[in-house]
Amino acid sequence: MTAPTFPNVKAGATDSFGDKIPDWKDQFYLLVDDFQGMRQLLRESLRNLGARFVDQAGSGGEAITMLQQTRYDVVLCDFNLGNGKNGQQVLEEAKIRELVRPTTVWIVVSAEKSVESVMGAAEYQPDAYLIKPITEEVLLSRLN
């Protein structure tokens, strides 16, 4: 399968609704997934969109450490992270400890098809929820 290509977006460009299109290359991304293959797939998708600053964490604890060190613009976090914190707990801790800016986009990624079963009555909601497998088109639509 060949990866789709996306047109180069000029900084300051606007979409058909007049909204500013983000300059992908200047965003800071954190990918959190206990499966290295998924992190690599997401990283490659982001690179195809022009992203230059992509960090990866393999656990909730590692994600918290990285969030303490860098202010990310976008976090793509798996819900099931194996042993330790799950993705919802990482989101909650990051918000409570103010490790993310109010403008940070938090996207939960999961193979679980029922959003309600994963998110439940959580106080801190993600900005989006993506079901694996994720295509570049879906990722791009959520980031926009």
142 inside domain: no
List beta partners, residue 55: 30
Angle at 17 between CA 71 and CA 43, to 5 degrees: 35
8 inside domain: no
32 inside domain: yes
The CATH number given to whatever domain includes residue 79 is 3.40.50.2300
2 inside domain: no
Number of folded domains that form the chain = 1
141 inside domain: no
What is the chain's pLDDT, residue by residue, as a tens digit (144 residues)? 333 333 334 444 555 556 565 666 789 999 999 999 999 999 999 999 889 999 999 999 999 999 999 999 999 999 999 999 999 999 999 999 999 999 999 999 888 777 665 666 467 788 888 888 888 888 888 887
Residue 38 domain boundaries: 24-133
**In the prediction, which pLDDT does 5 show?**
35
49 inside domain: yes
List beta partners, residue 3: none
Sign of CA dihedral 57, 2, 114, 82: negative
Give CA separation, 116 vs 120, 125, 129, in Å: 5, 11, 11
**In the prediction, which pLDDT does 116 show?**
65
33 inside domain: yes
DSSP string, 43-102: HHHHHHTT--EEEEESSHHHHHHHHHH---SEEEEES--SSS--HHHHHHHHHHTT-S-T
Q: Is the pTM of this model over 0.85?
A: no
85 inside domain: yes
Strands 53-57 and 128-131: unpaired
**In the prediction, which pLDDT does 102 show?**
92
